[in-house]
Structure 1
Amino acid sequence: MKKLLILAAVTLSLGACTQREQNAGTGALIGAAGGAVVGGLATGRAGGALAGAAIGGAGGAIIGSATTPDRVCVGRDEWGRRVRYAC
């Protein structure tokens, strides 16, 4: 059952729509895994591992999303005005 949940989480994080969402999902997975290990080792209890996973997952998602560069292009519309749009 654990393997199925891990496989589903990895598949969902890699199937994100945009690069920012994909990086946030990957960061959440890495942060949750690292947080669970550190929390489990620090407390020696399952509760510590769960708390570490929650904190690490949230932090990883924030960092993964924040480190994705914005892709904005500049062009001209039909009247010659400069417009910005996502590339």
Structure 2
Amino acid sequence: MKKILMITAAAALLAGCQSDSQRDRALVGGGLGAATGAIIGAAAGGGVGPALVGAAIGGAGGAIVGGATAPKNCVAYDRNGNPFRVACP
């Protein structure tokens, strides 16, 4: 029970991290997905095997969703040639 509580607390702390980088969001999403998948797999299957399968599936799914939902920022230039970030179309 303590393990599940610690993993849940760590997942909640990581969920609060905000990042614009697609790679960073994929890593955080993969970590959260793996932790959640491991917890659900262990609870449903009651062993190490289902926990590992759940972690693998959750990690892959979390990484895909985290990378896909990252905001895209493009660079535009004003009349003086100064760069600034804009939302990509």
Q: TM-score, normalised by structure 1?
A: 0.64
- Unaligned 5+ segments in structure 2 are 1-19, 79-84
Task: Please identify runs of 4+ aligned residues in structure 1 that moved more than 6 A.
Answer: none
- 1:36 — aligned with what? 38
Aligned to 1:14: none
Aligned with residue 27 of structure 1, among 29, 34, 41: 29
Structure 1 unaligned residues grouped into runs of 5+:
1-17, 77-86
Percent identical across equivalent pairs?
47
Structure 1 CA distance for aligned equivalents of residues 54 and 46 of structure 2: 12
Q: TM-score, normalised by structure 2?
A: 0.63
Equivalenced residues, count: 65
Report the aligned-residue RMSD.
2.5
